[in-house]
A = this chain, B = another copy of it.
Amino acid sequence: MSHPGGEFAFIDWLRRKTRPDPRVIVGPGDDAAVIRVGRSADCLITTDMLMDGTCFRLAEAGPRMVGRKAMAVNLSDIAAMAGQPVAAVVSVALPQQGGRLLAEELYQGMRELADAFDTALVGGDTNSWSGPLVIAVAIVGETTARGPVRRTGAVVGDRLLVTGPLGGSILGKHLTFVPRVRQALQLHAVADLHAMIDISDGLAADVNHLCLESKCGARLYADAIPVSVDATRMNDGRSPLEHALGDGEDFELIAAVAPADADRLVRDQPIEGIQLVCIGECVADGLWLQDGNQIKHLEPLGYKHRLD
């Protein structure tokens, strides 16, 4: 579950309304919830909804890529908890014209990614209506023996690692990204991950989310933040670094680990297919950007859903 910008006050409201429940290990406010089902199993659950014209443009992206993205953003939430996805259900509201063919293409896109991550597509609810395409996926996953990684465990001194270059995802990566499910499981197996989050709203915004949950602050190193090629191609007056800090939907992971673990992981690069980069550290409070000798206050800007 992503919880962008203006939604946060609402999540707080929802949390205050939530009664303690022994079956709920992790409730609202993390990338996925953790619940106890049956006698012993800890079960991850998350949902994300995408709407045509807001999260994608159907006419440009095509239904297959839209289906793919709907599955990918949910898989990324399971990755952010260092979980293994198990099964997905899908609800869609299809435009009345061409609904059947559209549905098949959507499901093909979802299936390709679900199959790649060993996630069974076990059912759904297919509707048609007069509005634009809306698609909501919910994924159930399982935690490993090491348990879920939450947003809450970062402590002052922890280093922040990121799994890939950032910025400019609107040029394509927001549709084509590969969720970091395998990398998260591998990281979880070789290091003690104190906290983790996926970058859906933007680096600064999501570091801020992690810090709020962990009750700490963070200082990011401007020179270290990996800037994607797409961030340099935006040509809209904002610098590549600004794009890396503020653009959403990179779906890389940020992990908080102890300094010695960070040193080891960055030196050994034990995770196949990605380059781990140390981009900052946890401090007592505030969100800061260290640029050479200057330390500036960093606004936790990112993509916001407005709730007026």
A-to-B contact residues, CB < 8 Å: 1-3, 7, 9-11, 13-14, 17-19, 21, 23-24, 26-30, 32-33, 35-43, 45-49, 51, 53-55, 86-87, 89-94, 96-100, 103-104, 107, 111, 115, 120-132, 134, 136, 138, 140-142, 305-308
12 A-B pairs with CB atoms under 8 Å apart are A1-B124, A7-B126, A24-B87, A35-B86, A38-B43, A47-B136, A91-B136, A127-B305, A134-B134, A136-B136, A136-B138, A140-B140
Q: State in angstroms the CA–CA spacing of A222 and B292 once bound together.
A: 83
Q: Does B308 lie within 8 Å of A100, measured CB to CB?
A: yes
Query: In the complex, how many angstroms separate the beta carbon of A75 from the nearest chain B beta carbon?
Result: 14
Contacts of A2 in B (CB 8 A): 125
Q: State in angstroms the CA–CA spacing of A51 and B140 once bound together.
A: 24
Query: In the complex, how many angstroms separate the beta carbon of A76 from the nearest chain B beta carbon?
Result: 12
CB within 8 A of A51: which of B9, B97, B127, B305?
B127
CB within 8 A of A99: which of B46, B89, B306?
B306
Q: A46-B89, A122-B28 are in contact. Are A103 and B307 (CB under 8 A)?
A: yes
Q: A124-B28, A140-B45 are in contact. Are A308 and B99 (CB under 8 A)?
A: yes
Residue of B nearest to A127 (CB): B305
Residue of B nearest to A90 (CB): B47
Q: Does B49 lie within 8 Å of A127, measured CB to CB?
A: yes
CB within 8 A of A130: which of B18, B53, B125?
B53
Contacts of A99 in B (CB 8 A): 306-308
Q: Does B87 lie within 8 Å of A18, measured CB to CB?
A: no
Q: Does A307 lie within 8 Å of B94, measured CB to CB?
A: yes
CB within 8 A of A132: which of B36, B40, B104, B131?
B131
Query: In the complex, how many angstroms separate the beta carbon of A191 from the nearest chain B beta carbon?
Result: 23
Q: Does B10 lie within 8 Å of A93, measured CB to CB?
A: no
Query: In the complex, how many angstroms separate the beta carbon of A183 from the nearest chain B beta carbon?
Result: 22
Query: In the complex, how many angstroms separate the beta carbon of A152 from the nearest chain B beta carbon?
Result: 15
**Contacts A13-B104, A53-B129 given; 16 further ones with Cβ under 8 A?**
A10-B100, A14-B121, A27-B122, A28-B124, A29-B123, A30-B123, A37-B41, A39-B40, A43-B140, A45-B140, A47-B123, A47-B125, A49-B91, A53-B130, A99-B308, A138-B138
